[in-house]
Structure 1
Amino acid sequence: MPAISLADWLRSLPDDALAALLRTRRDLATPPPSDSTVLATRAGTPGSVARACEDLDTFTLAVLETLLVAGADTEAVPRSELAGLLGTSPGETLDLLRAKALVWGEDEALRIAPAAREVFGPYPAGLGRAVPALTPETVRAALAETGEAERALLRTLAAGPPVGRTRDAATSPAPERAETPVHRLLALGLLLRRDEQTVELPREAGIALRDGRVLPAGRLTEPDLPTRSHEQSTVDSAAAGEAMEFLRHMETLVLLWSQQPPPVLKSGGLGVRELRRLAKETEVDDAGATLLAELAVGAGLVADSQSTTPEWVPTTLADSWLASAPAQRWVPLAQAWLDLPRLPGMAGGRDAKDKPVAPLSEELRRPQAPAVRRRVLDALAELPNGTGVTAVDDLVAMLAWRAPRRGGRLRDETVHWTMAEASALGVVALGALGTAASALLDDDRAGATTAMIDALPDPVDQVLVQADLTVVAPGPLEPELATRITAVADVESSGHATVYRITETSVRRALDAGRTADELHELFRVHSATAVPQSLTYLIDDVARRHGRLRGGVAGSFLRCDDDVLIAEVLGTPAAADLDLRRIAPTVLVSPLPLAEVLDGLRSAGFAPAAEGPDGRVIDLRPAGRRVPAAPRRARTAVPAPTVNADQLAMIVRHVRAGDRAAGTRRGATVGAHRGGGTDTSATLALLAEATRERREVWIGFVDSHGTASQRVVTPVRVGGGMLEGSGNERFPLHRITSAALVED
């Protein structure tokens, strides 16, 4: 069966098949091709072929490479030859490739675009150049004469690439004088000498060494993905535990950067020292700290202050986030991670100039990152509920087989980064996708919130106070209780159960914030499931007895005390001189320094002063933390992939068919309409007017709004107002018509 060109094959397609091609390969539809010849030319360019191959799996690409090895880019190849070289039937893969116009023709005359050779490189399937003189019989005979050393070298080159560098290529001794494996293989014709340092394995020898196949059989099947099954409730519970831990770390970041915002590097991003400090405070590694910082900014909780000395400062949105329940905290962070157009995993690496890549820097921006994450999570979503992968490397191999040409040089690393980040965030647990994460993938934020609420343990309002002054929260505390406990105790360890420690400093902190000893006693009496140990009662009373005996106000600042002996004791310390304290009454001292600085100096000297307001009540002078305005957040809507709708496709197909009809139409003498008017323009208008009167078809050439020249066959119904109107409601601006001719009968 004779081979046909791609343009002829496209003309033979039904309209729905042509529309499906334009939908699948969107680059072919913009701008609309004028006819099938233009469409075929566009479909056969290297860039378009490469884009069409990005979504193909390894087997489908193997079919294309095998056709290329068989020479289908220059002459027709029958399906039987393809199956023989492939080692198996291509099955429905040929129909898929035909639907993408990467392969065309009937089974007995398959063709591919010549640009495929540029796309797949000089060694398709890892095979070298063809040597027609090497028949299968010749290769078998030559292989029979090789020794073990020669076979080992051949096996290495047969695995690809088929070229190797060796100093033995510089000489070509006679066969009887060949001593090295390279010389013997050159003499047998199983190697080709390319230059003085390079040899190449001929294609025919490579195929013979692969048992007559272009590709090893193992590469043609998708690798297995080992999994293990869990109850979905177990996965959700584990994911909720990780989510709670991540939320605690994020809260630490917000509070830390509220008090001490880190500077923005001159080149943008977060410095190494500040990253290490964040990692230390949150007790995570550098990768975990980077993820926290990236999501804090990505979720709008932190922003660049944009000041003369810019800093990373929490926004006003952070306050509402801190006041929210755990599930309501988690959903915006998880959503921000899914949509984050950045790759936090790249931080710490080196850029193109061999400089370190900083977190929050512009070098981490990758617009395709959200698509990469969803591809990984979609693969997990294909598994039954509660089923997780046993090893990330197996998932990497499966995804690489499904789309080996997608992802670039970071293809495999992004899978590892995605799984690590998803596990830290509580999106994935035990290698499986959580229910809340599945809802987020379906853009169901309400469902994700509900699922996370169900997965999280119920908040508790009871703690266990122990004799060693530790407080154990057996689960997440009620928000109000958590705030009150945090005010009087420090977190010592966290997890499903959080351990707090009460110290003299933490009690004094609570008293500084305006709590009274009675309120602290009441807190533990009401909310402790165990008896309150005497050691805690004594600690609170002892600190409270000493707390506030010295009271300061703004004068610059003043200190007052009913006990003039204590006043004298203060004046007798070195701190009195440092703080410039002086007595203005037996029980009153003043200082020109701010009150906060005076109180800190006295506490360093061993005293326990308290600040008081104008009404004599204890006040908290600790800074509340800086805030910058949060950027306006748009309502999130799912952004669909750009597509061409059915009406647009139908219009483009009609456009192509009209161009094909015009190209195949016999026409009389052509009249050109040149710019600037003149006799040619007048003649064109006269011809169009004549065709309008006689209702005759006319062939026109014109340039569309994209600057693309094309041709049409039109039956004019009106010429005027600078427009040619056809019987099919077509309208052509006269100034865009370049030529016209009557269609011959």
Structure 2
Amino acid sequence: MSPDLPLRGLADDLSTRSDEALVELLIVRPDLASPPPRGTGVLAQRALSAASIALAGESIDLLGDAVLEAFLDAAAEIGERKELLGPVSRDDIVERLGKRALRAEIDVRLDFLVARGLLWGTGPLKRGKHTHWLGGAHLPAALPWRAHNLLGPMSQLSAETIRERIDAADDRQRELLTTLAKGSALGRSRDAAPDANPEAPVPQLITRGLLARVDEQTVELPPQVAQLLRDQPPLETASLRAPSLATTSPGRFDAKTVDAAGAGEALELLRHADDLIEALGSAPAAILRSGGIGIRELRRLAKTTGQSVTRVGLLVELLAQNRLLGSGTPDSDSLDLMPDNVFAPTDAVDAWAHQDSTRRWLGLARAWLDLPRRPWQIGDTDREGNTLAALSSELFDATAISGRRQILDPLSEAAPAHPVTLDALTSVLVWRHPRQLRRFTLHVVSETVREARELGLTAHGSLTSVGRALLATDTDDDAPAAVVEAMNRSLPNLIDYFLVQADLTVMVPGPLEPSTADRLRLLADLESGGAASVFRITEDSIRRALDTGLGSAELSSFLEDHSRTPMPQSLTYLIDDVARKHGQLRVGLASSFIRCDDTATLAEVLRTDAATDLALRALAPTVAVSAAPLREVIDRLREAGFAPAGEDSAGALIDLRSRGARVRSHAHSGTPAARRSALGPGQAAAVVSRMRTADRAASPVTTAASGTPSGETVTMLIQLALRTGRRLRIGYVDAHGAASRHVVQARSLAAGQLIASEEGTDDDLRFPLHRLTLVEVL
């Protein structure tokens, strides 16, 4: 202990730091720069506040917290001071941590804490560094707990020993521990005092180390005990070294296999997204009274698309984040009695569907990283027992974006294609972010990794090359070249062929080129998707293709040109048969008319029940009219066994496919993500420049006019500054009587006013000469 060293404050320390060091401080603690502090003294006051220190504590790892606890423990032996703690030497800290941490790692944490303004040096320098450190009175706010749990009785015990002590507790003691593990770790009890009845449960738990005494009425559950009670990976504190992500074996897959698996998951997600868009276009989802899409609607969509409710919830959130799904009044003439406000695809969907797989994959992946909600929580209940709906404000979580990246960041440090277990990943996360001990649970980590796997960012327990590139990309880069390149490498090459089989199925052994895929989806219905998709050709699917104006020869030619297998004769007969019947009847707008060159066919139509339902009336042997809409007439005639086609006033065939309901694309109306504004190096440098100017303005006057300078003296000094280009330090009293000092660059002197710009800004300021109380040429 060396308590006789100089007790200088943080303001003195900051004033001696370099501009680069202050820029670094503002970048890692951006709350200190808003609003820009006027001088390093104001900066020090903010940095020493309890709220700012607690915010800075979020970036401290477990060893950093142990160093802080050792510092506070050593400072307590010196005695309390009103504003300063310490000085504490490096040896004092090393002595308390013992062999649980390397001295080099302790030095790194000390430099880390100094760089963030939580500690600062004092006394003589040794090899360019201070040997003792001071701290502010609110420094304990940086710790994630109240007691010194990393120096307490649990700190050097193994998880097995702690579990044995928990198992040895009786029912009442176990009940108290469980209550604290589920709720707040702090508890109030009169038995917390040192002189309390030793037979009471709380004193017994304190004696065994299962509770830590904070004061005479407060106890705290040590985090080592809490982790075991919550069935989470233990918090190992017997050694303060960082847990390893290394696996015992390199894994059964190489990097190419991992990337291929991720690309396969991404393609499947894109296919499911198309299915969901089509389902919502046909039957938009109702909006809950409280907003969002309810679990009942998600189950309906899951049944329609053949997906799980969890998958549908994830896709709904991703599509809405990409502005491909929105709420509003739908625009569709094929849907009757549509509600005024529903969730439906937006008009941006049609352009998105024509983008290549890389661009669509990138959009969904970026949307997931920037999503201010956790889709895996959809369907869970909140504290009031209400079910959480998709896209609802109740699902908003300000920490979702940062937490998602924090969970994936350790995976980027593991070797490619080396799997990392969820237990190992969770242990690393709680070591790096002790304040998030209750947030980074196995369930949260596993669900986040599962969503990343469904997006193709992870596969086989490790990050794909796409995931690594995406995490390393600046969030402001809309088209990151590294990510696009990684996606192109991972995605399989597009093919333009398929295999037509005798049972009228079409097997596609890979992803098709867009034009070929569009034509095949028009001609056949998808039976099973995946890396190898299977389509089936039916009469209805052929009729759907004919409705777009294609002929039987064009359909047969398309299949023959792209099939690697011979065209089955049965398929040729089917296409010709459907095409021969298709279009004998022509339905147009009258409201609707029916035209048929074969009078026998039209006569047969008029004798059916469909003619009665549609109120058909013959105008000529080959023409009949109906008051029903065209779409209704066609559907009813097809139900009666006919094969009508639609035509316009010119006699051309009409594409009867409906694109579904659409709403206008607009920004998502949900709660925006609450991000702490990042501070760039340029902005931080500007703030530092203004602080330096304020410090110079407040420094003692050395020369020139002071007190109440005469008008001639003021004019002479300003003119001197204008001729030589030197700066001025002025004292100024505004119209409200508020006095201030400024360091300015004089620009001109006219009409009894000094026009100048303050250092760090380009704005012109005007100072009436009669209000100047000080003028000094620097």
TM-score by length of 2: 0.73
Inter-partner Cα distance in structure 1 for 2:69 and 2:190: 32
Inter-partner Cα distance in structure 1 for 2:491 and 2:552: 34
**Pairwise mapping of residues 557-576 of structure 1 onto structure 2 (< 5 A)?**
557-561=592-596, 564-576=599-611
Greater shift in the superposed pair: 301-310 or 722-731 = 722-731
Matched residue, 2:67 = 63
Equivalent residue letter for 2:93: L
Asked if structure 2 preserves the Cα contact closer than 8 Å seen for 1:702 and 1:736, the reply is no
Match status 1:222 vs 2:210:
no
Match status 1:501 vs 2:536:
yes
Distance 1:568 1:625, change over 3 A: same
Greater shift in the superposed pair: 733-742 or 559-568 = 733-742
Asked if structure 2 preserves the Cα contact closer than 8 Å seen for 1:35 and 1:659, the reply is no
Aligned to 2:686, the other structure's residue is in SS state helix
Aligned to 2:257, the other structure's residue is in SS state helix
Inter-partner Cα distance in structure 2 for 1:286 and 1:503: 30
Matched residue, 1:79 = 90
Asked if structure 1 preserves the Cα contact closer than 8 Å seen for 2:284 and 2:344, the reply is yes
Inter-partner Cα distance in structure 2 for 1:236 and 1:127: 41
Asked if structure 1 preserves the Cα contact closer than 8 Å seen for 2:26 and 2:679, the reply is no
Matched residue, 2:162 = none
Distance 1:43 1:733, change over 3 A: farther
Distance 1:603 1:270, change over 3 A: same
Inter-partner Cα distance in structure 2 for 1:376 and 1:301: 27
Inter-partner Cα distance in structure 1 for 2:221 and 2:602: 99
Asked if structure 1 preserves the Cα contact closer than 8 Å seen for 2:54 and 2:141, the reply is no
Distance 1:153 1:258, change over 3 A: closer
**Pairwise mapping of residues 715-734 of structure 1 onto structure 2 (< 5 A)?**
721-723=752-754
- Equivalent residue for 2:259, pick from 236, 241, 250: 236
Matched residue, 2:588 = 553
Equivalent residue letter for 1:387: A
- Equivalent residue for 2:18, pick from 15, 20, 28: 15
Match status 1:95 vs 2:111:
yes
Per-residue deviation, 1:483: 1.6
Asked if structure 1 preserves the Cα contact closer than 8 Å seen for 2:189 and 2:219, the reply is no
Equivalent residue letter for 2:90: R
Per-residue deviation, 1:482: 1.4
Match status 1:426 vs 2:448:
no
Distance 1:349 1:642, change over 3 A: farther
Matched residue, 2:412 = 381
Matched residue, 2:340 = 309
Asked if structure 2 preserves the Cα contact closer than 8 Å seen for 1:21 and 1:100, the reply is yes
Inter-partner Cα distance in structure 2 for 1:236 and 1:222: 29
Per-residue deviation, 1:610: 2.7
Inter-partner Cα distance in structure 2 for 1:501 and 1:331: 31
Matched residue, 2:232 = none
- CA deviation string 1:719-743 (max 9, x = no partner): 9935599999999976899996999
* Bigger Rg over Cα: 1
Distance 1:620 1:709, change over 3 A: same
Match status 1:583 vs 2:631:
no
Aligned to 1:558, the other structure's residue is in SS state strand
Asked if structure 2 preserves the Cα contact closer than 8 Å seen for 1:45 and 1:115, the reply is yes
Match status 1:248 vs 2:278:
no
Residues paired across the two proteins, number: 690
Distance 1:738 1:466, change over 3 A: same
**Pairwise mapping of residues 321-340 of structure 1 onto structure 2 (< 5 A)?**
321-340=352-371
Aligned to 2:527, the other structure's residue is in SS state strand
Inter-partner Cα distance in structure 1 for 2:385 and 2:188: 29
- CA deviation string 1:65-109 (max 9, x = no partner): 232244457452343332222234423321221222212234765
Equivalent residue letter for 1:507: I
Per-residue deviation, 1:54: 1.8
Matched residue, 2:689 = 651
**Pairwise mapping of residues 408-423 of structure 1 onto structure 2 (< 5 A)?**
409=439, 415-423=445-453
Distance 1:587 1:419, change over 3 A: same
- CA deviation string 1:647-690 (max 9, x = no partner): 5355245346436743xx899xx97xxxxxxxxxxx68789869
Inter-partner Cα distance in structure 1 for 2:113 and 2:364: 41
Backbone CA RMSD of aligned residues: 5.2
Inter-partner Cα distance in structure 1 for 2:758 and 2:504: 93
Distance 1:54 1:35, change over 3 A: same
Matched residue, 2:425 = 395
Equivalent residue letter for 1:242: E
Asked if structure 2 preserves the Cα contact closer than 8 Å seen for 1:514 and 1:620, the reply is yes
Inter-partner Cα distance in structure 1 for 2:413 and 2:341: 45
Distance 1:585 1:649, change over 3 A: closer
Equivalent residue letter for 2:271: R
TM-score by length of 1: 0.76
Per-residue deviation, 1:499: 0.4
Inter-partner Cα distance in structure 1 for 2:621 and 2:462: 72
Inter-partner Cα distance in structure 1 for 2:496 and 2:36: 67
Per-residue deviation, 1:711: 6.2
**Pairwise mapping of residues 276-675 of structure 1 onto structure 2 (< 5 A)?**
276-305=299-328, 309-350=340-381, 354-366=385-397, 369-384=400-415, 386-405=416-435, 409=439, 415-440=445-470, 441-442=472-473, 443=477, 445-561=480-596, 564-614=599-649, 616-628=651-663, 630=665, 641-645=679-683, 647-648=685-686, 651-652=689-690, 654-655=692-693, 657-658=695-696, 661-662=699-700
Per-residue deviation, 1:433: 3.0
Distance 1:510 1:437, change over 3 A: same
Per-residue deviation, 1:586: 4.1
Equivalent residue letter for 1:105: G
Per-residue deviation, 1:489: 1.2
Aligned to 1:539, the other structure's residue is in SS state helix
Asked if structure 2 preserves the Cα contact closer than 8 Å seen for 1:18 and 1:653, the reply is no
Greater shift in the superposed pair: 187-196 or 114-123 = 187-196
Inter-partner Cα distance in structure 2 for 1:190 and 1:317: 58
- The unaligned stretches of length 5 or more in structure 2 are 123-129, 154-167, 226-234, 331-338, 669-676, 721-727
Distance 1:601 1:11, change over 3 A: closer
Distance 1:7 1:720, change over 3 A: farther
Matched residue, 2:120 = 104
Inter-partner Cα distance in structure 1 for 2:219 and 2:556: 86
Per-residue deviation, 1:236: 1.9
Inter-partner Cα distance in structure 1 for 2:440 and 2:771: 50
Per-residue deviation, 1:286: 2.3
Asked if structure 1 preserves the Cα contact closer than 8 Å seen for 2:497 and 2:564, the reply is yes
Inter-partner Cα distance in structure 1 for 2:760 and 2:553: 88
Distance 1:243 1:109, change over 3 A: closer
Matched residue, 2:54 = 50
Distance 1:712 1:610, change over 3 A: closer
Inter-partner Cα distance in structure 2 for 1:301 and 1:188: 58
Distance 1:234 1:365, change over 3 A: same
Aligned to 1:589, the other structure's residue is in SS state strand
Aligned to 1:598, the other structure's residue is in SS state helix
Inter-partner Cα distance in structure 1 for 2:395 and 2:618: 60
Per-residue deviation, 1:714: 11
Matched residue, 1:39 = 43
Aligned to 2:543, the other structure's residue is in SS state helix
Inter-partner Cα distance in structure 1 for 2:212 and 2:414: 49
Equivalent residue letter for 1:494: G
- Equivalent residue for 1:27, pick from 28, 31, 36: 31
Matched residue, 1:269 = 292
Matched residue, 2:136 = 113
Distance 1:461 1:172, change over 3 A: closer
Inter-partner Cα distance in structure 1 for 2:641 and 2:23: 83
Inter-partner Cα distance in structure 2 for 1:6 and 1:292: 54
Asked if structure 2 preserves the Cα contact closer than 8 Å seen for 1:242 and 1:426, the reply is yes
